Homo-oligomer: A and B are copies of this chain.
Amino acid sequence: MNKISAAEGILFVVSAPSGAGKTSLCRELVDSFPDLRQSISFATRKRRHGEADGVDYHFVDSDTFRSMVDQKQFAEWAEVHGNYYGTSLQSLEGAAKGGIDLLLDIDCQGAAQIKNNFQQGVFIFILPPDYEELEKRLRHRGTETDDVIERRLANARKEIPEARWYDYLVVNDNFQAARDRLIAIVTAERCRSDRNVHLLDKFTFEGDK
């Protein structure tokens, strides 16, 4: 008798420069898959209007964050725009073992650490159509100062070349199309044979071979 082993949970890591539409796209993705859970990062930045602690982020102060770094509790952590963000290693390991697919929405620095430290994950980079459109979207938000917008654009210029080592590039030229591409990536990755060899067990008989 062959033992049927369950598949491990998949970690989907999504990065994008500010203004590329990552937050809205990730929300759509989670809404499309009831069995895909969004990973909740730790963050030291100020809570924005409409955000809730333990839902959007685990909001902590800088001292707490640093002590967690010292205790090696993070699979990745980084400073972005003057704040700290981090993902608990325990939560990633628990999801993988429990067969739970996880969506992790993080910046390039964090994604690179996940790739190095966690040794697994499907890496997706969302691209704006071009810089002009990215700037237009950032200015249309109307929530940031010119200084912040300039800093975000400078960051985008550094981050976009990093897209090269990601597994997938999704251009957000059209929101609906970008959403469909992300959904397709999750569906396709779930069909990868290395994650589904256990399906073949029931087709193998004692007499064969």
Contact = CB atoms under 8 A, between A and B. Distances in A.
Copies per assembly: 2
Given A168-B188, A188-B187, A193 B130 contact: no
A183 B127 CA distance: 22
A143 B132 CA distance: 60
B208 A193 contact: no
Interface string A165-181: 11111110000000011
Interface residues on A, range: 35 or more
A125 B131 CA distance: 41
A169 B199 contact: yes
Given A125-B193, A168-B192, A169-B193, 7 more contacts: A157-B208, A161-B200, A163-B193, A164-B200, A168-B193, A180-B187, A188-B189
Interface of A: 125, 127, 130-131, 157, 160-161, 163-171, 180-181, 183-185, 187-189, 191-193, 196-197, 199-200, 202-205, 208
9 contacts: A130-B203, A131-B203, A163-B193, A168-B193, A171-B199, A181-B187, A185-B187, A185-B188, A188-B189
